[in-house]
């Protein structure tokens, strides 16, 4: 168990959050980085951005989709690398509030998500591609850099002053500048003084010369497009729900609901969160495919959520054949990704005594037989009881633990632990194990 303050426990409980990439780039339908990737004319892009005026944006609808999916928090791009602000900033007029839309989208989002009982996070890109000094850096343009960096700090102050309690500050875009250049330590100090309970991610820049994400700054890690646990701190894997981009893209292919759910289960099984992205349309709606998938996942979460929320890393035994495991207290949850219809599951290597087995999906108690090395769980229907992943809850006598031989996977641990197992059949290459 990680040693974290009480006011951060919600994040470990939550496991599932909503990432939202939305801005004037959504109108291009080619992702959030179209300005840079296509080297578009800056002036023209800005003119279009100022005309951006979504008519169908309803923050309550967004919040409802996330809540129904079983998500517990949101993270909205308040400003992406293109520099356009989704709130009423006093420091620039390049905002949704001052331009055609005439609305403070951040304010609407914060209010609606809070009202739906969700925690609120703000994504903020340090980078602003419009500003020459950002590209030049302090060596070549010390004055410009200084002004730009002050602008960044002041915007963060605005965001964390004007919208009540904010739960997560999600930075991005530190590249190519170091934490020193961004004055990230001072930034963190300011953030903590404004919002003592906030969580800050690990993208505030590296010590000079280092290009990986910051280990020094950051309350939680942000593995991107991958689900890898981080030792010693909380983490959240951010993932696209489609195949490519974060911002809205026409012609996108959608990852199936089973794959999205599997990412959530994998994150939980490794002790982390999934921040699943959606790129709403320019007009402000979540793509119908996405909304549909979130409904499906939400229905699954209604029944199986206890295997996810507040769960701990659960890779207790070898279980790759069937699925993944999570743990909570004395319970071991077997999340079955592949249903083979044999009517039974054989779990090898559980050392802890099982008191009861329940198919969470239907609530039915399952017959089982436990021997030293195996738990044979029976009574399973031939057809999977849900289109997504059925879950079996094993209620154990204590925190579930593996036998010595099963603690490590094949390629890990001391191989000599398996010697008695092999030697029990004999020692020779002959079928009966006996030497000739």
CB of 201 to ligand GLC, least distance (A): 9
CB of 202 to ligand GLC, least distance (A): 11
* Residue 263 in the binding site for ligand GLC (CB under 6 A): no
Q: Which is nearer to ligand GLC, 87 or 246 (CB)?
A: 246
Q: Which is nearer to ligand GLC, 224 or 373 (CB)?
A: 224
Using CB under 6 A, pick the residue from 64, 136, 215, 224 that binds ligand GLC: 224
CB of 237 to ligand GLC, least distance (A): 10
CB of 222 to ligand GLC, least distance (A): 7
Q: Which is nearer to ligand GLC, 23 or 271 (CB)?
A: 23
Q: Which is nearer to ligand GLC, 69 or 174 (CB)?
A: 174
* Residue 128 in the binding site for ligand GLC (CB under 6 A): no
Between residue 54 and residue 93, which ones bind ligand GLC under the rule CB under 6 A?
none
* Residue 32 in the binding site for ligand GLC (CB under 6 A): yes
Between residue 236 and residue 255, which ones bind ligand GLC under the rule CB under 6 A?
238, 246
Q: In the chain, what is the straight-line distance between the N-terminal and C-terminal CA atoms, in Å?
A: 53
- Spatial separation of the C-alpha atoms in residues 298 and 69, rounded to whole Å: 4
Sign of the four-CA dihedral 291, 292, 297, 298: positive
- Spatial separation of the C-alpha atoms in residues 284 and 57, rounded to whole Å: 4
Q: Which is nearer to ligand GLC, 275 or 359 (CB)?
A: 275
* Residue 267 in the binding site for ligand GLC (CB under 6 A): no
Closest CA to 273 of 5, 8, 6, 7: 8
Q: Which is nearer to ligand GLC, 129 or 333 (CB)?
A: 129
How many chain residues are in contact with ligand GLC, going by CB under 6 A?
6
The region, left, alpha or beta by phi > 0 then psi within -120 to 50, assigned to residue 15 is: left
CB of 172 to ligand GLC, least distance (A): 5
Site string for ligand GLC, 180-219 (x = CB under 6 A): ----------------------------------------
Using CB under 6 A, pick the residue from 104, 108, 128, 172 that binds ligand GLC: 172
Q: Which is nearer to ligand GLC, 130 or 337 (CB)?
A: 130
CB of 22 to ligand GLC, least distance (A): 11
Q: Which is nearer to ligand GLC, 82 or 167 (CB)?
A: 82
Per-residue tokens: 410: 């094949």
* Residue 33 in the binding site for ligand GLC (CB under 6 A): yes
> Could you tell me if 247 and 23 are in contact, meaning their C-beta atoms sit under 8 angstroms apart?
yes
Contact residues toward ligand GLC (CB under 6 A) are 32-33, 172, 224, 238, 246
């Amino acid at each position: 168990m990680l040693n974290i303050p009480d006011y951060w426990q919600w994040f470990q409980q939550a496991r599932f959050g909503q990432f939202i990439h939305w801005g004037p780039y959504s109108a291009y339908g080619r992702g959030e980085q179209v300005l840079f990737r296509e080297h578009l004319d800056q002036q023209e892009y800005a003119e279009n951005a100022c005309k951006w005026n979504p008519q169908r944006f309803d923050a309550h609808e967004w919040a409802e989709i996330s809540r129904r999916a079983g998500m517990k928090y949101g993270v909205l791009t308040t400003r992406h690398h293109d520099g356009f602000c989704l709130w009423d900033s006093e420091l620039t007029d390049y905002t949704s509030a001052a331009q055609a839309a005439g609305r403070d989208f951040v304010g609407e989002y914060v209010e609606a998500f809070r009202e739906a009982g969700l925690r609120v996070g703000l994504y903020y890109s340090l980078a602003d591609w419009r500003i020459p000094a950002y590209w030049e850096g302090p060596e070549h343009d010390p004055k410009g850099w200084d002004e730009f960096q002050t602008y960044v700090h002041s915007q963060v102050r605005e965001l964390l002053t004007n919208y009540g309690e904010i739960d997560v500050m999600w930075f991005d875009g530190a590249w190519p500048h170091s934490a020193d250049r961004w004055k990230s330590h001072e930034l963190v100090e300011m953030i903590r003084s404004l919002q003592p309970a906030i969580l800050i991610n690990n993208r505030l820049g590296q010590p000079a010369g280092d290009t990986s994400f910051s280990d020094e700054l950051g309350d939680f890690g942000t593995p991107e497009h991958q689900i890898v646990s981080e030792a010693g701190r909380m983490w959240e894997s951010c993932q696209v729900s489609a195949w490519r981009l974060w911002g809205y893209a026409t012609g996108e292919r959608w990852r199936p609901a089973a794959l999205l759910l599997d990412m959530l289960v994998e994150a939980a099984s490794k002790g982390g969160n999934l921040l699943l992205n959606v790129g709403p349309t320019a007009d402000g709606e979540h793509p119908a495919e996405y909304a549909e998938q979130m409904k499906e996942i939400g229905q699954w979460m209604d029944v199986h959520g206890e295997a996810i929320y507040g769960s701990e890393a659960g890779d207790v035994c070898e279980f790759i054949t069937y699925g993944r495991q999570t743990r909570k207290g004395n319970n071991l949850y077997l999340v079955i990704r592949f249903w083979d219809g044999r009517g039974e599951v054989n779990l090898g290597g559980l050392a802890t005594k099982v008191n009861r087995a329940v198919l969470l999906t239907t609530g039915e108690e399952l017959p089982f037989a436990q021997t030293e090395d195996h738990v044979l769980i029976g009574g399973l229907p031939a057809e999977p009881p849900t289109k997504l992943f059925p879950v079996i809850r094993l209620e154990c006598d204590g925190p579930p633990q593996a036998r010595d031989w099963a603690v490590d996977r094949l390629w890990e641990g001391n191989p000599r632990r398996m010697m008695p197992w092999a030697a029990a059949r004999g020692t020779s290459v002959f079928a009966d194990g006996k030497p000739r």
